[in-house]
Structures are given as C-alpha cells and as structure tokens.
Structure 1
Amino acid sequence: MSRATTPAAPHTAAPERPADLVLTGARIHTVDPDLPEAQALAVRDGRIVWLGADAGAARWTGPETDVIEGRGRLVLPGFIDAHNHVRLGSDDACVQLAGARSLLDIHARIRAWHTAHPDADWIEAEAFDYSAIPDGRMPRAADLDPATGDTPAFVLSYDVHTAWLNTAALRRLGIDRDHTSLPFGEAETDPETGEPTGFVKDFAVKGLSRDGHRALRTLGVPWASTDRQYGRLAKSLDDAIRFGITTVVEPQNSLDDLALFERARAEGRLRSRIVAALFHPRGTTDADLDDFAAAARRYTGDRLRVGPLKLYIDDVVEPRTAALLEPYTGCRHHRGDTFYPAEEFGDLLAELDGRGFQCFVHATGDRGIRTVLEAVEHARTVNGPRDARHQVVHVECLDPQDTPRFAELGVVACMQPRHCAPEIAGPGQDWAENVGADRWHKAWPMRSLHDAGAVLAFSSDWNVAEMDPMIGIYTAVTRRPLGGSAPWQPAETVDVATAVHAYTMGSAYANFLEEERGSLTVGKLADFVVLSRDILRAAPEDIPRTVADTVVVGGEIVHTG
C-alpha cells in the first residue's frame, strides 16, 4: 500500500476490500510532516490504510464499514502519556485532601469521613499539600491527632513522595526512636528528643517498591492491598480513555504488579495500551535484572509492553529533598542529597546501559539533573554511543549550562507541564519559595529545551496532577493558572502544535514507539481522538474545556462523549 501524498491525491483503483472503519469530514492534524493534514482516513485490521480528501473515502466504505462523521472537528493521534501512575490513584476509599489549604480544612475533611465510617480500622487520606502546614514546616503526628483520635491514620502527600502518620499509626507500625529506617520510607525524628515526628520521607523510593508494598500489606495498611491497587488501576484506566490517552506509560512497577495489568486485560479494562517500566531501587541484584530482562522478553505486545527501568537520583523540592547546586532559600548549607554518590550512579547507569536497558531517572533539582546527564555521558564513554533514549523525568529546575546536553547526549526530557502552573509551583507556593526568585528562570524550561533540539515527552504524572492532556497543553502554552490571571515564567511557554507533538510523537519516540504510534500515518496503529474543539485554533482559555468526543484504539471505538 502507498501513502497519499496530498489530501487531494486522485485514486482510481478500488481497494482490495472495504475498510473496517472510515472517518470523514474532519480536520486531521496528523503530526506527520509528509502529510500534515487530511480530511478522512480508513482503518483495516487495526491499522491506518489510507488518509486523504473526503472525495476518496467512498472507495473504502462498504456496507459493513463503521463511519465516523467528523463534522469539521479536529482529529489528533491518540495521546501518549509518558509518565502516568495509573496504579496509584485516586482511591475512592481515601479521604480526599486535594484543595485543602489549611490544617483546619484537613481536620474537617477527616472528621467528616470518620463520622461516616465510625468502624474503620484505619483512616487513609491522599493528596495533602505541604503548603497547608503552617510556618513552612513539615507535618507532625500531633497535627493529625486532634482529628483522628486513637484510629491510626495514613496520609499521603499529593506527590506520593511522603507519608504523614498520627500517633496511633506510629504505634501500630512499630515506629519509635530505634526503628526509623523503614521498608517504606525514612521516619524523621525530632532533633531535640530523637522521637519520630510522624513525617515519613522517601515514600516514593521505598514505599512504592516491591518490598515496601509487601511490608505495608503485612502491617495491615489497607491502601497497599492488591484489591485496592486494582481498584485504583481500573478507575484510572477508565479516565485515561475518557481523556483520549491511548497509550499510558506506567513508570514504576514491580514484577508483582504486572498481574494487575493482566487482570485488567482479562476483564476488558485495558483499553489504553500500556508500557510498564520496572522499578530499580537501591539493592537491585543481578538476579533481579535477569528477571526484568525476562519480563521484557515476555511482554512485547502492542497492548502491554515491559522494559524500561525506573531509578531515582533525588526527591522533590517541596520538602527540600531534591538535590540543588546551591542551598535552599533560607538555608545556610542544606541543598538536598542524591540517593547515590555521583561516581556510583555513573557506574550503575553504565552497567544498565551496557545490558541494553533504557532508564527513566527521576530528577527534579539542578544538581540531580546534572548528575544524571554526567552519568549518561559516562555510560557513552564506557559502552560507546547507542540509541538508548534514557530519560530525565520531571526536569523541574535545570541549570542553563545543562540545557544543550539533552540533545547532545540523546536524553529525552520527560516533563509534566501542569507541575509548573503558578497555583502549584509559582510565587507563594513551596516550590518557588524553596528555590528562590533568583532561580525561577530554571523552572521547567520547556521552550529552551525544545529550541536546543531536545526531545520533549509530555505527561501528567497522575495522580500528582490532573490526567487530562488538555490541562497539560493549556499550561504548557500559557504558564497561567486554570482560572486565568498572570503567567509565571512565560518565556518558557511553547505553542500548541509543539505541546501536541510532545504528547504524541515526542512521547512515542521517547518510548521507541514512533514506528507504530505518535502520528496518523498509513501503516501505523489506528489510535486517534476526535476533539470537541479545534485546540490548534482556539483561544488558550478554551483548551481546558475541550473534551474527547470519540476515542479510537486499534480501529475500535472505545469511547464516545
């Protein structure tokens, strides 16, 4: 078969048989420079077999062909969310603390939930915002106790990087001054008394690991149970399809978690395609790597693929656990730590690169990001250059000296535009205040990276931020709050077409999927979304109100609005 070269290319010969599905009367933005726009397309056996002008669609339409009437609407390739924790949230059994801006509000929400569930063995909550704690400090058990009483409480931060426990939970989990290094995190202690405060850091690194989940289940924390995990996964997968996300990259899984995706596929809930990265915490053995490689060989299908490895070099800016080149604002010396010394991490990445693994490395601080880039450079020196497509995930605070190194080293910038919204990270919020105004120019430098030739792969980081790509695109284009008002660091905005590319072809390339996804091209998988509004032409403030009217995966209509 041959690709149409222009939307109006003439066709005389009839196809060998009609298409299974035909879309007509649309404005198709293909993200393919060889054929940037079309009006119609045809699908057979799950793949695109033709694109062109409406006049050619009749040739592909038979009595059994499903026809989607575009009615002039914008059609895009299905979104590829390059970093989406579909296993993590949100959890209907938890108290929802998103938007709670004070301890009083947190207490009110917890008390209301506890009143409705008086026999609960645990109070569990998610999405608390660090800025809700007074005086810029981290939360303590004493802050929770008035609302929870003697019922143990387990509360996760909005970024799932820290946990907050009350006094009853500290007792239930056996945490005391002699037991603070936990399978699921590091319990902070009071510098004067040595007693645990109730704040647990490094939860994303340890608590979301295989050992961390097992420990929490053994200790009876309901949030970690398999059924609760599956409930979160199934709900998040439904949301992904509703938003037009046809491929989800789940960035942090243990081998145990793969059974959850198998179950979702068996029960018909796996309508989005999945790329599952495996978590490589400190202490991962050669035998573990052999098991990871075996899983990658087993799961190679277009619906469920396993392969990349997820690592951490630092944590997050809000609790001051990201690694910065200079101290945090208001701190004389503290600039955060890396989880590995630089030389050790370089050797580790070289080893993984030498075994052929692609690595996703969480790095938010400028020193953390530089450490990763230097490790990639070291790996290339040791192993020789290869098309590894290692990713720096988040790229929140990037020193300008390091901007060109992404393209030079072939490193993908996997970024989450919503994270840089002023109401989340801007002036008055913990991120901006901890970094300080003299470093705000380093914040999420999307345009600088794009202009320097780096590959941008956009994503939501659900459930840290909203999953909807429309919100991510709006933020990338405006750097404004959802309600409008002043932008923050507008010099780093990108245009809509660039943002769409980052959510489609950029994310496809980042995950070695560009031969079959990311653009609407003859021969590729027929994954696409029909939007309610033409976001390429709409006013930016209208983008968040745009919805997916129709979502197609592999030529099958899986959602209609």
Structure 2
Amino acid sequence: MNTSSLIIIDGNILSMDEFGSTFEALHIKGNKINCLGTNKEILKNKDSNTVVISARGGTVLPGFIDSHVHLFPGSSYLNKLNLMPLKTFSELKDLIFYYIENNPSGTFVFGRGANYQLFDETELKTRKQLDQISTKNPILVQAPDGHTAWANTKALKDAGILEGITLPVGNEVVMSSDGFAEGMLKENEAIRLVLALAGSDRSRLGLDTGGEPNPPASDEEKQSDISVLKSGLSHLAKLGITSIHNMDGNFYTLELLDEIRKSGELTCRVKVPFHFKNNMRIEQLEQASIMSKRWNDEFLSSGFVKFFMDGVLDSSTAYLIEDYADQPGVKGEALFEEDEFNELVIDCDNRSLQIAVHSIGDGAVQRVLNAYENAQKVNGVRDSRHRVEHIELIQKVDIKRFKDLNVIASMQPVHPPGCDGLPLEPTISKIGVNRYNEAYAWRSIKEAGGTVTFSTDWPVSNVDPINAISNALNREKWSEDTIDQRLSLIETLRAYTIEGSYAEFKEHSKGILKEGYLADIVILSEKIDRIPTNDISKIEVINTIIDGKIVYSRD
C-alpha cells in the first residue's frame, strides 16, 4: 500500500534509542518518521489523505535487520525438501520415498537441513545407507550448516567422484578403506560436484564461485530468477525484515535486484558483497570496487568483500588453535595462509571496502583479527567496521579485541547446539568442556565493549527474527558452570535493529524509531517486553512497513 501520510496509534513503541524511549503513536510522512508521541498528539497530523493503523497494543519496533543471510539460495530453497524436523534416518527414508514416488523416474533428490545424527544409527557407510532409499535416483542431503552433505552411490558415480578426487585445501570427498567414497562430502568444492547433477543453478553462483553465469543467462532465465528472488523477498516481508546483509554475491545478483527495484517491488534494503574465493587473484578485488561505485543507495548497495576463513565444527573443518576435543591431532585448516590473507585485507581496507569473514573456529577468528590489526598499522586507523561472521569459538585473549579494533561480531542465536531444535552432539563433544565458556560467547563480547549483531544465516537456519529472538533469550547452558551468554531482551532487540544498522554505517538513518529516520517499521501482535520469554515464539508480525509503505499485512 502506497501512502504519503501514515499514522500508527495504540502502540507499545520501543524506539531502540540509547535512552530507552517509548511512545504510543507515530506519524510517517513520505518515507520518513515525522514525529512520535501520544495518540492525541500524533492524530493532530491527520488529514484527508492519512491512513491510520491501530497497533492494538502490540509492540512497534524498527524493521528487523538480518545481518547475515543468503538471499538467492534461501529464496530458491523455499520449495526444496526441508529435512530440519527429522530426528531419525527412518523418517528421512520415508520422506524421500514419498518424494521419489511423486516425481518422474530418476529425479535428482536434494534436501536441506539433515542433522549429522541421522547417520549415526548404523555402521553402514552413509552412501550405502542412502542406497537403501534408492539406487536409481541420485540423492544428496545437506546438513543445516550447508558445509557438509551426504550422497548415495548413484550420485557419487554420476558426479564422477565415487573413486575420489583431489580438491582445494579444506574441501574433501571422504574416502573409506575400500578405496571408494564413503558418502560424506565436506565443504562447497566437494558438494557442488554432486549438486551440478541437478543442472544449472544460478542461485548458488554468488556462494559457490563468486562468478557470473557462463553462458550468460537468457531473458527467460533472468525472469525465472527474478521470480525466485521475489518469492524470497515476500517471505522476508511477512517476517518483519526490512534490511538484510547478504553474505554471498556477484554482479548477476545485484543486476536482478536492480531490475526488481526498477519495477517498484524491492521490499527490503539489500547489501550484496563481492565474494572473494581462495582461488582468486588479488587483482580481482577491483571488481569489488566497481560494485561499490555502481550500487550505493538506501535500497541496494555493495561496498564490502566476503571471505571464508574456515568451515564448521561438526565436520571438523573449522580452524582451531587447539585440537578438537574428540579428535586428537586434528585442528582443521585455514582456507587462506596468513601472509596471503594479510595482503588481501590491506588491499580491501585501502580501497575503503568493508570486510566480512566467515570464521567459526578460534584459530580462524584470531587470524582474521590479526589481519585487521595489521591493516590498521599499515593503512592507518579508519572507521572501517570490519566484521567477523559466526565466532562459534574464541580465545579469551581475543574477546576484548573486538572493541579495541572496532570490529563487528556478527553472530547467530539459532546456531548454538540445543537452540532451534539442534542436537547437542556432535558439536559439544568437538568443543570440549574446557572450551564451553568461549563458545557462542555473545555476552562476553558485548560486556567487553564489542558490537554484536544478530542474524540467522538463512537458509542454514529459519530466517524468522521472532524465532531467533526467542532462541537467544531461551538458550540453555550446557553445564552448571558454563557462563550464561544470553543478552537482555532490549540488547537482543538492538542486535536485530540499531546494531545491524551500525554494521552497515546507517545508524543515523535507520534502526531507531526517531524523527527524520527512515520509516522501516514492524508491528507485532503482542507486547514483546511484557510477556514471558518462553511465549515470545508465539508472537506474529501484523504489519511490515518499509520506506513508509505497507508491504505486508496479516489481516
């Protein structure tokens, strides 16, 4: 709904400003907030063209900012098999049986969200377990983290990797003692060899290669991809998300989003990076500078570079300083050598580009922080706001460095084992009891003065902010002696609003409900600050407003 004047009354308005200001009503004029106050005060601004919405006592917040998503893959996966609810291999078998029976013979089967424990029930190799489901259909099931997958014999054979293949560091087709692939595939370079059996998937290019469609997409293919992205944007609008920081990207993704914007259908503000892979040359960073200059406005922008420093804990591909607790002698591997990465960071920083690095293990986190500190020494200190993504393990000595270096800690409250239905194992056994206090250490970083933003890593996890907020507030300790890493409700909400805007240098224009700020707003069904934390998951989004326009209404 387009309107030049909109009033929200009867609200529990939490502004998210530093004073904790609350209001009953607000007036939007054009695309910005004009004023806030009581119902009586704000209704004085009403004229014949004003639309009035009653929040019916529900909480009104700045629109949610998800600081780490993968929009194109997430949009594409909305119609894929969702394996997250499954608890046993038997349930997986039943679901895939049903899918095969209702699709053409030989169809490639791909499902997302298979927990690692699904394959712990038998001594059979994982490919042979999946062969019990089908030997005629290639099958690939991917873990929730997206960094591990399992394939049946048909899929491995069709992909030409049943007898193994040499891959870049950190990536692996796991082999068994009989000389054939075991079925487990570690990291993207292994997984995408099987995914290719499904045909061209342009939605993953920004993640898999950072490159462009080759051959270029036809007009028909572009329109199909635009439809996929629109479905994802609609999904985000229903959840109250008004801004996202995309964590994969290429020119093609930005060009598609630009087309959506030109048609007036871009219902979310989007930042898209240049994804620098470890097989690229440093000269290719010029592409990031071109992106930054071409797209740089309030709705669609670039201006940053994404790297991966390691993998994930569950497959032992995260890079640790000390051995995995359950695998003596194994520390994982860094995807970039220290000298090489330092050179890349210096170059990015010298271009005034922001940097975001996937760093799950404490070794990866430390290597990235060291590179940021080195860049400050070489280039001089500037307001760079570089980022570290995930930080699932951190050394105690590195916690304070987030404040000292003004580095953003971008973290996901749906990722800790035990949250959002995730099993405790195998993750906590890999971490080890002596490292519990340095795992997913949101509060430790916050109390040391660091900036913490929250997000979901969609489609790795459910993108719903209410679900993420509920998990953040209801996270349980793994032992009696473990530090409680939860933030307060207001700190959690700020991590989803103003801290997210700070992470993209927009804290003076969005993320707070304040006069002159962009009118990006979400209206909730309940007073989020007046109900028990274990009831927060029941809250629904009533309205989503972006740039002063209503883009979603539940009723």
Q: How many residues align?
A: 535
Q: How does 1:350-499 map to 2 (within 5 A)?
A: 350-423=346-419, 428-480=424-476, 489=482, 491-499=484-492
> For the residues of structure 2 that align with 1:155 and 1:68, how far apart are their CA atoms?
45
Shift, 1:352, TM fit: 1.4
Residue 316 of structure 1 corresponds to which residue in structure 2? 312
2:119/2:126 contact within 8 Å kept: no
> Measured at CA, do residues 427 and 114 of structure 1 come closer, stay the same or move farther in structure 2, by a change above 3 Å?
closer
Q: Which of 274, 278, 283 is matched with 1:282 structurally? A: 278
Q: How does 1:130-529 map to 2 (within 5 A)?
A: 130-134=116-120, 140-177=126-163, 179-181=165-167, 186-190=171-175, 192-203=177-188, 207=192, 208-210=204-206, 212=208, 232-265=228-261, 269-423=265-419, 428-480=424-476, 489=482, 491-529=484-522
Q: Secondary structure at the match of 1:51?
A: strand
Q: Which of 62, 69, 85 is matched with 2:47 structurally? A: 62
Aligned identity (percent) is 28
Q: Which of 98, 110, 127 is matched with 1:124 structurally? A: 110
> For the residues of structure 2 that align with 1:493 and 1:417, how far apart are their CA atoms?
9
2:309/2:335 contact within 8 Å kept: yes
Structure 2 unaligned spans of 5+:
193-203, 216-220
> Measured at CA, do residues 439 and 486 of structure 1 come closer, stay the same or move farther in structure 2, by a change above 3 Å?
closer
1:187/1:197 contact within 8 Å kept: no
Shift, 1:318, TM fit: 0.6
TM-score for both structures, normalised by structure 1:
0.88
> For the residues of structure 2 that align with 1:336 and 1:138, how far apart are their CA atoms?
25
2:67/2:500 contact within 8 Å kept: yes
2:417/2:425 contact within 8 Å kept: no
TM-score for both structures, normalised by structure 2:
0.89
> Measured at CA, do residues 349 and 181 of structure 1 come closer, stay the same or move farther in structure 2, by a change above 3 Å?
same
Residue 35 of structure 2 corresponds to which residue in structure 1? 50
Q: Secondary structure at the match of 1:56?
A: helix
Q: Secondary structure at the match of 1:432?
A: helix
> For the residues of structure 1 that align with 2:420 and 2:368, how far apart are their CA atoms?
25
> Measured at CA, do residues 156 and 234 of structure 1 come closer, stay the same or move farther in structure 2, by a change above 3 Å?
farther
> For the residues of structure 1 that align with 2:339 and 2:429, how far apart are their CA atoms?
31
2:172/2:185 contact within 8 Å kept: yes
Q: Secondary structure at the match of 1:148?
A: coil
Shift, 1:343, TM fit: 2.8
> Measured at CA, do residues 232 and 473 of structure 1 come closer, stay the same or move farther in structure 2, by a change above 3 Å?
same
Residue 548 of structure 1 corresponds to which residue in structure 2? 541
Q: Which of 60, 74, 94 is matched with 1:108 structurally? A: 94
Residue 201 of structure 2 corresponds to which residue in structure 1? none
2:361/2:391 contact within 8 Å kept: yes
Shift, 1:122, TM fit: 1.3
Cα deviations across residues 411-443 of structure 1 (Å, max 9, x unaligned)?
000010111251569874221121112211112
Q: Which stretch of the first structure deviates more once superposed, 269-278 or 92-101?
A: 92-101
Structure 1 unaligned spans of 5+:
1-17, 220-224
> For the residues of structure 2 that align with 1:137 and 1:428, how far apart are their CA atoms?
21
> For the residues of structure 1 that align with 2:190 and 2:306, how far apart are their CA atoms?
10
> For the residues of structure 2 that align with 1:262 and 1:558, how far apart are their CA atoms?
18
Letter matched to residue 558 of structure 1: V
> For the residues of structure 2 that align with 1:254 and 1:206, how far apart are their CA atoms?
20
